[in-house]
Structure 1
Amino acid sequence: MSAIRVKICGLNSPQDVAAAAAAGAAYVGFVFFPKSPRNISIEQATQLALEAPVGLCKVALTVNADDAMLDTLTDAVPLDMLQLHGSESPERVAEVKARYGLPVMKAIGVADAADLPQIDLYSQVADQLLIDAKPPKNADLPGGNGLAFDWRLLAGRKYWQRPWMLAGGLTPENVAEAVRMTGARQVDVSSGVEAAPGQKDAALIARFSAAAQSVAV
């Protein structure tokens, strides 16, 4: 049996980071996207990253960020991984990996079986994949919308070429079922552990992590 690795995304306070660490999370995510209620400044992220316990993987979520933005971000914040959550092409993913020397996680939106080939395509260039619910058309946010997709699409597909993480509409109540149905060994949550948009709840974080890690895989 191996433990499910949990990512708590959209953190914006030292209390959030402490709650994620106490719950046994493997990753914490900081959002750099002005339209998001979880958006934080580079200065905030720097402080949070410096205060994070050793061993907690610090992930920066960006959306179609250009080199100038990524230069500023990586120069200031001690990060362990970049998460590309926009419409970045495979070529752009490869460019970011080469330029910054950090592992890159590419988010891929899934609504139906027609979206699955993108997973194989990006697995050739990304270090990890985040499989999320595809946002509705004209949505302001590419993720963090609290939407799930049909997890049966991933059943029996435990092994792509790269490690992958399940996201989209996960909560303390459904994460165990999602893990059992998909075979995911990593899960990502943001809105599912919030009391209000952008406000994390330490009790929900603890419940989510416990529920995810209760599943034998």
Structure 2
Amino acid sequence: MQPKVKICGLTTQEALEAAIAAGADFVGFVIFPKSPRHVDIAGAKALANTARNRARSVVLLVDPDDELFDRVCAEVAPDLIQLHGHESPERVAKLRARGDTAIMKAIGIKAPGDAEKAEPYRRPGRADLILFDAAPPPDAGDALPGGNGLSFDWKILDGVSRRFDFALAGGLNAENVREAIRLTGAAIVDVSSGVEKAPGIKDPQRIVRFLETAKSTSVAAR
């Protein structure tokens, strides 16, 4: 089985077109002012409209209030909303109930057993998809909740792919994505900083290399 690929943190039409042309299954847009990949709602809407019916669009939000969540659903109309903050399972359930937009919930991983944090989010009416990402270091001050170029020990996820499909992020690039897929069995691999030439600036050639490598790697079927 071939893994699907998400290119996250896209900010320009040029980078978006490069990702779609190279075969990206998901394209991600970040609405979070602290991120170098931040776009406003109007920018995310324009990018999502370009991607529509060509790749699935994902908007990343961090602890959104109801107003922001509703505006993104109504104005951007993404295929998924990625919640990448400290949203509790109960908060995810409330947001999921506000509309028909599917939700991907990010779970920070740094130590054995952290994958079990996903279980409360997998109950009916909560997250439709789980993303495992490297947890930011505790002493990193204003570190972003994701997109830091950090990885984690992929062996922590041993056996998870036999229970449910998930997405994998955290320090991925064209040089290590094959090994990441082999060790974790991730159904989706998600990259942002690993295809950039500077924070927030995507490199079309790195996008192509990442997609070629990921899509030439097989995932064992559950």
The TM-score bracket by the shorter chain reads over 0.9
Answer with 194-203 or 15-24: which moved more.
15-24
TM-score, normalised with respect to structure 1: 0.95
Amino acid at match of 2:22: A
TM-superposed CA distance for 1:215, in Å, is 1.0
1:20-99 to 2 correspondence within 5 Å? 20-99=19-98
CA distance in 2, matches of 1:158, 1:106: 16
Structure 1 moving runs of 4+ over 4 Å = none
Structure 2: runs of 5+ lacking an equivalent: none
Amino acid at match of 2:31: F
**RMSD between superposed Cα atoms in Å:** 1.2
1:108-123 to 2 correspondence within 5 Å? 108-123=107-122
TM-superposed CA distance for 1:160, in Å, is 3.3
Number of residue pairs matched by the alignment: 215
Q: 3-state SS of the aligned residue for 1:82?
A: strand
Residue matched to 1:185: 187
Is the contact made by 1:123 and 1:160 (CA closer than 8 Å) also made in structure 2?
no
Structure 1: runs of 5+ lacking an equivalent: none
Cα deviation per residue 1:42-92 (whole Å; 9 max; x = unaligned)? 111111111125141110100000001112222211311110000000011
Is the contact made by 1:35 and 1:140 (CA closer than 8 Å) also made in structure 2?
no
Answer with 190-199 or 74-83: which moved more.
74-83
Q: 3-state SS of the aligned residue for 1:48?
A: helix
Answer with 41-50 or 81-90: which moved more.
41-50
CA distance in 1, matches of 2:52, 2:67: 28
CA distance in 1, matches of 2:147, 2:3: 20
CA distance in 2, matches of 1:119, 1:90: 9
Amino acid at match of 2:214: A
Answer with 116-125 or 89-98: which moved more.
116-125
Cα deviation per residue 1:78-115 (whole Å; 9 max; x = unaligned)? 31111000000001111111102111000000000132
Residue matched to 2:168: 166
Is the contact made by 2:20 and 2:54 (CA closer than 8 Å) also made in structure 1?
no
TM-score, normalised with respect to structure 2: 0.93
Cα deviation per residue 1:109-133 (whole Å; 9 max; x = unaligned)? 0000132220222222210000000
